[in-house]
Structure 1
Amino acid sequence: MIALSEKINSINVPWDVTTEPCSWEGVKFNSDNSSVLEISLSGYSLSSSNFVPLVCKIDSLQAFDVSNNLLSEIPDLFMTSCGGIQGLKLLNFSRSRLVGSLPSFVGFPGLEFLDLSYNALSGNVNSELEGLELALSANRFEDKIPEEILGYLNLTLIDLSQGSIPNRIGNLSKLEVLDLSHNNLTGAIPEGLSNISTLSRFAANQNGFSGTVPSGITKFLRHLDLSFNSLTGSIPSAVLSASNLQTVDLSSNLLEGSIPAKISSSLVRLRLGGNSLDGQISSANFLTPNKLAYLELDNNKLSGSIPPEFGSFQSLALLNLAQNRLMGPLPPELGNLSQLQVLKLQSNNLAGEIPSQITQLQKLSTLNISSNSLSGPIPSSISSLQYLVNLNLQDNGLTGSIPITIGSMNSPLELQLGKNQLSGYIPNMPPNLQIALNLSHNHFEGPIQKTLSGFDALEVLDLSYNNFSGEIRTFLAEMGSLTQVSLGVIPEFHSWVMVDTKGNKDLINTTTLKPSSKSGKGNKVAALILALTVPPISIVAGTIIAMLILWHYRGKNITQGNLLTANEIHRSDIKLTNVMEAVGYPSNIVLIMRFSSYCKAIMPSGSIYFVKKLNLSDKMFQLACRDRFRNEFEFFRRLSNSNVMTPLAYVLTANNALLLYEFAPKGTLFDALHKSSGSVMDWACRYSVAVGVAQCLAFLHGIASGPVLLLDLSSKSIFLKSLKEPLIGDIELYKLIGPSESRGNHTTIAGSVGYIPPEFTYTLRITTAANTYSFGVVLLELLTEKPAVSAGLELAKWVSSNSVQQDKWDDMLDFSVSRTSPAERSQMLAVMKIALGCVSVSPDVRPKMKSVLHMLLDAAPSSD
């Protein structure tokens, strides 16, 4: 093992040769530590494979994993020597850069599992791999499956890349899982697949398949996913009635006709949205009792009423019937769905009042019944929905006043009550609103009330088209996170706030937002490593605690203990006085983020730095312990990635944390793409930024001690050192808040509007899949030059709804860039496919960021 470590010779591998190998990360010994059983070197960015043959000297080895690296070959010496290890059962070379033909593993008699997926292997799949459990996806194999391969035990998937599925695939009598998703496959789905009695899962989503759905395809299946294709015709009656069936996804196709008369009681998830299905929804279609947890029939042409019998589906967690032609009342029986978390019935013709029984759904996180013809008051018991995150009742005919108890709801991030006939007193609103508060197009009148103040995280406030009069209150201008306000007359808001003033002609602007006058006299602080006295400075009130940071004041340089970098230039360059002055004047603010503000600080030498200010008195940071600050920043000091915006120094004050970073002269990606004064980005720049951000996320998600997640990834949190060099900011927040500690108040960390994944409304969790979704939105911004949200429409939803037919993809690209050359247009279309995978509705099918990075690199133009 010592020789292996010396041969690897990489600082990325945390093996300490002065300690026993049994303590090394990724190495597993037997019970008495006498024999090595497993070695994992996954995710260390290893590029040389010279060390690989050395493992052949370990006779006891059972598993060898070198996935997620940069290896370009498997050495011949490994192939000739390691076959003699009788106990070697698992080899994982996936997610690297292997090229050439598929290696022959005929000399490995004990091998049971071989993973070569996500490489650049090409040629044919030969028959020498018989009997193995294989993972060969995302390579460049030809679409020919030799007859000899029929004996494979568990062929998991082959990436056919292009062409069609061979009909003889139905002869793979031992096939268990066939996953062909996210390819460019065309033609019909072979009928022969229905003959494979061992096949339990078939996924071919996001391809170009046409024709009809084979009637017997689910005879033996448990899971079927044919979404995002161009399948036509009706759904055969037998497809949804198979007794073992658990999940079916036929969404986003061109299917017509009615829903089949018999739906299996074993189904857990049924997705038929985004088609042209018509007819009525009948409860007789669904056998009871059933296990149905997710039912999505949205975006069709279904008519009639919502069956009251749906209230007996006791496992239902999500019901989506939006954008159909349904009419009649909202069944009060839906209030019996005790497990329901998401209810979407928007854009139908539902009428009558909102039944109070709906407010009995104690687990409900999303309620959207907008764009119907509902009338009457908002039920006063709405406040009993204490887990509700998104409430959308807009565009109905609701009357009366807003229930006075609505302010007791702590979970809502979004409250949409616009386009109704509401009037009267506006009560206190839910305190944690973040996405939007929309009261527009109602009959509210009189002065704007103090009850609309105090929303520190609110981005959009819409009070337009009411009858408000009097002064625009100063407290509105003090909401630091606002990005859009719709009132009546433009007040003096911060320069980054877009203000829409339609419909309230009598409002008078008297606001004059001035720098805060708060200040505090210096006090000497005892029991600190270094006690400091600070004179009054605007904005930064109170005493600098400077705990454990050893920062000299009064013109002296910052000492070594302050800096989280070994760069001597920064040590001698940063002056505390300049830092404090920079944050003392609002004119130095260059960016307001969800959790922080960025100021520009110029040092006496002329060097420029970013100073980020975190408000530690915010309740979000109260969940974290101040004493953790230094330890967490020691963690970030050890990070080594050129696209991570790493702090150079920090200081703690009574209420704030100030962090210093390298200055990004090109501003943010949002500025470059969406502001007229921004820099023009050609495709080469945009592609380079996409790869850089993907590299950063793959690095952060792959950290051995556990993934570091971004709580607010957006084009505004991506800074540009140059037009081709991105820096990802706000990476510290995940550590400062802490995932376990933040679960009690996830409403404060949902991210920015347009980048929040759909599952957040009911999971309330930030995950690696959530980061992938946000990155997918950034990719779409790079491809279309459209912002994440425009005119109330989310970019991800707009692109997804227009992506079913690939011939429409061209129309969504930024024409000023795609017209440059056929090669760049082709690359942009390849990246569009990657982006669509990232913004998939289901987090389970989104690729990991390391896979995304590999796919982006594969999309790079050739050097010819």
Structure 2
Amino acid sequence: MHPLVFSKPPSTQTTVMISISQQLNGTQLPWDVTKEPNPCLWQGVACSRSNNSSIISLSLSGFGLSSSDFLSEVCRIDSLQSLNLSNNNLKSISDGFFNGCREIDGLKVLDFSRNRLVGPLPAFRNFVGLEFLDLSFNSLTGEINSQLSQLVSLKCLNLIFNEFSGSVPTQLGKSFVLEQLQLSTNKFHGEIPVEVLKYKNLALIDLSDNNLTGSIPEAIGNLSKLQLLLLSSNHLSGEIPKLISNISTLQRFEANQNNFVGEVPVGIKRYIKILDLSYNNLHGLIPSDLLSQSSLQHVDLSYNLLRGTIPERMSSRSLVRLKLGSNSLSGSIPAKLATFQNLVYLDLENNSLSGSIPPELGACQNLLLLNLAQNDITGTLPVELGHLTKLQVMNLQQNKLGGQIPPEIAQLESLETLNISWNNFTGPIPSSISNLKRLANMSLQCNNLVGSIPATLGDLNFLLELNLGGNQLSGTIGVLGIGICVWIGGAGDWITERRNNDGGAFRFRWELGRLLQGNVGG
């Protein structure tokens, strides 16, 4: 293939670009007209491929620009289609930009994100071709009324991470072609206006992290192209509209950290990939077919008032996260969870689950987190869990597990946190536990463990916290890491490793009989 060769842009555009380079002299802009006279070959400049190349795109992102006065010159480039000024230090957009660039009918993309813009949102008059406007990650304030109403071609509006207040804006272009509305992390209040739902092409609505109240309008179900609906971290209430289940395009629905009541809508799983309704007041049963959708990837219903059992109908090969903790679920842990071969996070803590841990969970070999804490689980620790070589966190505390700690636990080579405290485990601590080289936190307290503390615990170089109290252990411990907190007795018997003046590790040799509160000295 022959290399792409651009002819020079029209002489008027070349003159403009030279003027801009002179105005921006002293910034991080790497333009040097003496080395390269063709602006089409300058960094951040794109030209059309016609015989008489015209400048169509200008990207000045990340060049440390602090003044926008040069924009009046930019607006003389009447062929401009895209202008990217993101990641700079601009505090305002000059009047010269609005007076000049609004006449460029072909200008489709404006990106002023990640600057230091302050004050109210400027009025965008004309700009008839503008399709994409990004002012995110600035410090813009005030209400949004009619400043954007004349943007007849606007498809994507991104205003996240600003300080806008007032109601959610509804005048977002006369032609109603808006596809993406991103308003998260502002100070909008009031209810979600029904008027915003008249934009029938909306595929993305992000109103998360505001101060919105009231309920979700029933008309949300009429948005037949909606793919992402993000409403988390507001003060929304009422029931979740059942019509949401009719949106066949909806792939991601997040409404966590609100005050929703009622039940999880039946049928919502049909098309969804990511569902997060955590931290609400939802009650009732988990829909029996919720986990049977083949494309389901993430379900978080934790911190609600859900009851009943975990659904047995499971067929999703894509599920990565399942979080049902802090509800009132009962019954046993389904062995069919093993069908989720790609499961990474399984969190069922703080329920009333009973029965034993299914040994089939050992087949979920992609698990990073297994949290079954604070339930009524009985039986022994299945040796099959030793197959979870990627597991980083195992939280099984505050159950009724018993028997000995299986030596297979030493196969969990990636484990960083092991908490099996407040159970009924018996027998010794396996000496092979020192094979868990990445272990940072080990909590074995308040069981019925006996025997000597393995001296090889001193080989755990990353260990930061060791809890052994409330057992019948004896023995000594050699050198441990710097900064480690150790609990071997009652509440308050914390010992913290520290450095000597010479910087070496201070050697602890505990004779546990001298700290006899729950452990017995040997």
Give the stretch that moved more between structures: 174-183 or 311-320. Answer: 311-320
**Matching residue within 134, 137, 148 for 1:104:** 148
Alpha-carbon contact 1:351-1:372 (below 8 Å) kept: yes
- Residues 548-586 of structure 1 deviation map (CA, whole Å, 9 limit, x = unaligned): xxxxxxxxxxxxxxxxxxxxxxxxxxxxxxxxxxxxxxx
For the residue of structure 1 that corresponds to 2:322, the secondary structure is strand
Alpha-carbon contact 1:164-1:186 (below 8 Å) kept: yes
Q: Which has the higher helix share?
A: 1
For the residue of structure 2 that corresponds to 1:367, the secondary structure is strand
Query: Is 1:223 aligned to residue 248 of structure 2?
Result: no
- Inter-partner Cα distance in structure 1 for 2:56 and 2:357: 62
Q: How does 1:225-304 map to 2 (within 5 A)?
A: 225-266=276-317, 267-284=319-336, 286=337, 288=339, 290-304=341-355
Query: Is 1:28 aligned to residue 75 of structure 2?
Result: no
Shift, 1:429, TM fit:
3.9
**Matching residue within 165, 178, 185 for 1:138:** 185
Query: Is 1:467 aligned to residue 516 of structure 2?
Result: no
What amino acid is the match of 2:324? L
- Aligned partner of 2:231 in structure 1 is 180
User: Do the aligned partners of residues 248 and 200 (structure 1) sit closer, same or farther apart at CA in structure 2, a change above 3 Å counting?
Assistant: same
- Inter-partner Cα distance in structure 2 for 1:418 and 1:208: 40
User: Do the aligned partners of residues 302 and 65 (structure 1) sit closer, same or farther apart at CA in structure 2, a change above 3 Å counting?
Assistant: farther
Shift, 1:225, TM fit:
0.7
- Aligned partner of 1:437 in structure 2 is 486
User: Do the aligned partners of residues 29 and 242 (structure 1) sit closer, same or farther apart at CA in structure 2, a change above 3 Å counting?
Assistant: same
- Inter-partner Cα distance in structure 1 for 2:241 and 2:72: 43
User: Do the aligned partners of residues 265 and 230 (structure 1) sit closer, same or farther apart at CA in structure 2, a change above 3 Å counting?
Assistant: same
- Aligned partner of 1:125 in structure 2 is 170
**Matching residue within 246, 256, 260 for 1:209:** 260
Shift, 1:66, TM fit:
4.0
- Aligned partner of 2:57 in structure 1 is 37
Shift, 1:226, TM fit:
0.8
- Aligned partner of 1:358 in structure 2 is 409
What amino acid is the match of 1:125? T
- Inter-partner Cα distance in structure 1 for 2:88 and 2:160: 10
Shift, 1:51, TM fit:
5.6
- Inter-partner Cα distance in structure 1 for 2:290 and 2:386: 31
- Aligned partner of 1:613 in structure 2 is none
Shift, 1:423, TM fit:
0.7
- Inter-partner Cα distance in structure 1 for 2:505 and 2:469: 17
- Aligned partner of 1:115 in structure 2 is 158
For the residue of structure 2 that corresponds to 1:302, the secondary structure is strand
For the residue of structure 2 that corresponds to 1:309, the secondary structure is helix
Alpha-carbon contact 2:274-2:298 (below 8 Å) kept: yes
Q: How does 1:52-131 map to 2 (within 5 A)?
A: 54-58=73-77, 59-66=79-86, 71=91, 78=98, 81-82=101-102, 84-86=104-106, 88-89=108-109, 90-96=132-138, 97-99=140-142, 100-101=144-145, 103-104=147-148, 106-107=150-151, 109=153, 113-119=156-162, 120=164, 122-123=166-167, 124-126=169-171, 128=173, 130-131=177-178
- Aligned partner of 1:837 in structure 2 is none
Alpha-carbon contact 2:291-2:316 (below 8 Å) kept: no
- Inter-partner Cα distance in structure 1 for 2:136 and 2:155: 16
Alpha-carbon contact 2:149-2:172 (below 8 Å) kept: no
What amino acid is the match of 1:103? Q
Alpha-carbon contact 1:67-1:93 (below 8 Å) kept: no
**Matching residue within 414, 419, 427 for 2:477:** 427
Shift, 1:180, TM fit:
0.9
For the residue of structure 1 that corresponds to 2:285, the secondary structure is coil
- Residues 127-176 of structure 1 deviation map (CA, whole Å, 9 limit, x = unaligned): 52514433232342762132763332433313572222111011111111
- Residues 782-841 of structure 1 deviation map (CA, whole Å, 9 limit, x = unaligned): xxxxxxxxxxxxxxxxxxxxxxxxxxxxxxxxxxxxxxxxxxxxxxxxxxxxxxxxxxxx
Alpha-carbon contact 2:431-2:456 (below 8 Å) kept: yes
For the residue of structure 2 that corresponds to 1:419, the secondary structure is coil
- Residues 217-240 of structure 1 deviation map (CA, whole Å, 9 limit, x = unaligned): 121110011111111122111222
What amino acid is the match of 2:431? S
Query: Is 1:150 aligned to residue 199 of structure 2?
Result: yes
- Inter-partner Cα distance in structure 2 for 1:64 and 1:280: 55
For the residue of structure 1 that corresponds to 2:365, the secondary structure is coil
- Aligned partner of 1:740 in structure 2 is none
In structure 2, list runs of 5 or more residues that go unmatched.
1-16, 110-131
Alpha-carbon contact 1:151-1:174 (below 8 Å) kept: yes
In structure 1, list runs of 5 or more residues that go unmatched.
469-486, 489-501, 505-864
User: Do the aligned partners of residues 147 and 323 (structure 1) sit closer, same or farther apart at CA in structure 2, a change above 3 Å counting?
Assistant: closer
What amino acid is the match of 2:147? P
Shift, 1:60, TM fit:
3.4
User: Do the aligned partners of residues 71 and 94 (structure 1) sit closer, same or farther apart at CA in structure 2, a change above 3 Å counting?
Assistant: farther
Shift, 1:299, TM fit:
1.0
Shift, 1:503, TM fit:
10
What amino acid is the match of 1:438? W
- Aligned partner of 1:567 in structure 2 is none
User: Do the aligned partners of residues 156 and 92 (structure 1) sit closer, same or farther apart at CA in structure 2, a change above 3 Å counting?
Assistant: same
Alpha-carbon contact 2:489-2:518 (below 8 Å) kept: no
- What fraction of aligned residue pairs are identical, expressed as a percent? 42
- Inter-partner Cα distance in structure 1 for 2:88 and 2:330: 47
Alpha-carbon contact 1:27-1:38 (below 8 Å) kept: no
Shift, 1:189, TM fit:
1.1
- Aligned partner of 2:8 in structure 1 is none
Shift, 1:54, TM fit:
4.8
Q: TM-score, normalised by structure 1?
A: 0.47
Q: How does 1:377-392 map to 2 (within 5 A)?
A: 377-392=428-443
Shift, 1:28, TM fit:
1.3
- Residues 305-332 of structure 1 deviation map (CA, whole Å, 9 limit, x = unaligned): 1111211222222110001111121111
For the residue of structure 2 that corresponds to 1:437, the secondary structure is strand
- Inter-partner Cα distance in structure 1 for 2:226 and 2:98: 30
User: Do the aligned partners of residues 408 and 141 (structure 1) sit closer, same or farther apart at CA in structure 2, a change above 3 Å counting?
Assistant: closer
User: Do the aligned partners of residues 116 and 383 (structure 1) sit closer, same or farther apart at CA in structure 2, a change above 3 Å counting?
Assistant: same
- Inter-partner Cα distance in structure 2 for 1:70 and 1:35: 23
User: Do the aligned partners of residues 107 and 312 (structure 1) sit closer, same or farther apart at CA in structure 2, a change above 3 Å counting?
Assistant: closer
Alpha-carbon contact 2:403-2:426 (below 8 Å) kept: yes
- Inter-partner Cα distance in structure 2 for 1:392 and 1:182: 33
Alpha-carbon contact 1:440-1:463 (below 8 Å) kept: no
Q: How does 1:337-348 map to 2 (within 5 A)?
A: 337-348=388-399
Query: Is 1:403 aligned to residue 454 of structure 2?
Result: yes
- Residues 40-61 of structure 1 deviation map (CA, whole Å, 9 limit, x = unaligned): 4569696x76665554334334
User: Do the aligned partners of residues 6 and 141 (structure 1) sit closer, same or farther apart at CA in structure 2, a change above 3 Å counting?
Assistant: farther
User: Do the aligned partners of residues 385 and 408 (structure 1) sit closer, same or farther apart at CA in structure 2, a change above 3 Å counting?
Assistant: same
User: Do the aligned partners of residues 334 and 208 (structure 1) sit closer, same or farther apart at CA in structure 2, a change above 3 Å counting?
Assistant: same
Q: How does 1:515-534 map to 2 (within 5 A)?
A: none
Alpha-carbon contact 1:262-1:287 (below 8 Å) kept: no
Q: TM-score, normalised by structure 2?
A: 0.76
- Inter-partner Cα distance in structure 2 for 1:79 and 1:203: 40
- Inter-partner Cα distance in structure 1 for 2:416 and 2:296: 28
For the residue of structure 2 that corresponds to 1:230, the secondary structure is coil
User: Do the aligned partners of residues 253 and 243 (structure 1) sit closer, same or farther apart at CA in structure 2, a change above 3 Å counting?
Assistant: same
- Inter-partner Cα distance in structure 2 for 1:16 and 1:30: 15
Shift, 1:341, TM fit:
1.7
- Inter-partner Cα distance in structure 2 for 1:205 and 1:39: 37
User: Do the aligned partners of residues 392 and 16 (structure 1) sit closer, same or farther apart at CA in structure 2, a change above 3 Å counting?
Assistant: same
- Inter-partner Cα distance in structure 1 for 2:399 and 2:390: 24
Report how many residues are paired: 456
Alpha-carbon contact 1:416-1:438 (below 8 Å) kept: yes
What amino acid is the match of 2:170? V
